[in-house]
Amino acid sequence: MYSSQIAEHIANPRNVGELENPSAIGDVTNEVCLDRIRLTARFDGDELADAKVKANGCPPTIAAASVLTELIIGRSVQELRSLTRKDVADALGRLPPAKMHCAVLAIDALRAVIDDLKR
């Protein structure tokens, strides 16, 4: 039903936790299914130097949160802005169409971090 990449992220989620003194926080909830992703990030100038994530929800949400951290660490703000849900879905192999909202939630968390950084 789910790709091996999703299963692998469930078994070994990456960068789980919460940074102390983060530069920015993105905390988003899907009000329909209650899935939630909380992303904390530390920026070094324009570069996202470190990120930690916490997530609660179905397997694709946890996997999307986990893979998101791999996609964003070391990237510039401009590069982060160009990341899309498709990048998240592609990184997870196959994502069932009905589960695309999980990749959307991960991107929402990233956008919330960027918005928080601007403040």
Partner 1 sequence: MKVYLDNSATTAMAPEVIEAMLPYFSQEMGNAQSVHSFGQRAKAAVEKARREVAALINAAPAEIVFVSGGTEADNGAIRGISEAHRDRGNHIITTRIEHPAVLATCEALEGAGFRITYLPVSRDGLVDIDDVRRAITNETILISIMLANNETGTIQPIEEIASVVAEARARGLDRLHLHTDAVQAVAKIPIDVRRLGVDLLSLSAHKFHGPKGIGALYVRKGTRLAKLLYGGHHERDRRAGTENVPGIVGLGRAAEMARTQLDQRMVRMRELREYLEHQVMSRIANVRMNGDSERRVPNISNLSFNGVDGESLLIALDLKGIAVSTGSACASGSLEPSHVLQALGLTREEVRGSLRFSLSAYTNQEEIDYAVSVLQETVTRLREMAPVDEMDHVQFPDSRAHREPAERGRA
Catalytic positions, written as ranges: 33, 102
Residue 62 beta carbon to partner 1: minimum distance, rounded to whole angstroms: 6
State which of residues 5, 7, 77, 117 lies at the interface with partner 1 (CB under 8 A).
7
CA 102, 104, 105, 110 torsion: positive or negative? positive
User: Could you tell me if 19 and 51 are in contact, meaning their C-beta atoms sit under 8 angstroms apart?
Assistant: yes
Which range in 35-43, 73-81, 84-92, 110-118 contacts partner 1 by CB under 8 A? 35-43
State which of residues 44, 46, 49, 56 lies at the interface with partner 1 (CB under 8 A).
56
Provide the mask over 15-34, with x wherever binding to partner 1 is found by CB under 8 A and - wherever it is not. Answer: -x----------x-----xx
| Cα–Cα distances in angstroms (integers) from residue 55 to residues 12, 46, 66, 78, 101, in the given order | 13, 26, 8, 25, 14
| Long-range pairs of 80-87 with CB within 8 A, sequence gap ≥ 24 | 80/48, 80/110, 80/114, 81/114, 83/107, 83/110
Provide the mask over 77-96, with x wherever binding to partner 1 is found by CB under 8 A and - wherever it is not. Answer: -------------------x
How far is 45 from 67, CA to CA, in rounded Å? 23
- Would you tell me which residues interact with partner 1 (CB under 8 A)? 1-2, 6-7, 10-11, 13, 16, 27, 33-38, 54-59, 61-62, 96, 98-99
